[in-house]
């Protein structure tokens, strides 16, 4: 038998939607190239070489910008989600 609390499930769904909205808003606020790098690598799981070709910058720069953008996103989003 499923003993999950239906109210908790509803809250989980609301929280998940709020987080998606926060991520979308964050992505709209960042540099377009950083956004493209984050989505291509982090969401679409493209290779470094593919992302480099997509944005037209060297792979080493893509790797560096991805790490910086990911860390910045993590800090901003965790701060936004803090109780």
Mean pLDDT of 39-68: 97
Q: Confidence band (pLDDT; 50, 70, 90) for 53?
A: very high
Per-residue pLDDT at 1: 45
Report which of 20, 36, 39, 35 is spatially closest to residue 77, judged by C-alpha positions. Answer: 20
Q: Is this prediction's pTM over 0.85? A: no
Structure tokens at 2: 């499923």
Are the C-beta atoms of residues 73 and 38 closer than 8 Å to each other? Answer: yes
Sign of CA dihedral 12, 13, 18, 24: positive
Mean pLDDT of 36-57: 97
HSE (side-chain half, CA atoms, 13 Å) at 35: 10
Are the C-beta atoms of residues 69 and 34 closer than 8 Å to each other? Answer: yes
């Amino acid at each position: 038998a499923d003993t999950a609390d239906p109210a908790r499930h509803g809250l989980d769904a609301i929280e998940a939607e709020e987080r998606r909205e926060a991520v979308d808003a964050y992505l709209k606020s960042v540099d377009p190239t950083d956004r493209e790098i984050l989505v291509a690598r982090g969401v679409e799981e493209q290779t470094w070489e593919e992302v480099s070709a997509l944005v037209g910058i060297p792979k080493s720069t893509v790797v560096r910008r991805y790490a910086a953008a990911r860390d910045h996103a993590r800090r901003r989003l965790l701060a936004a989600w803090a109780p």
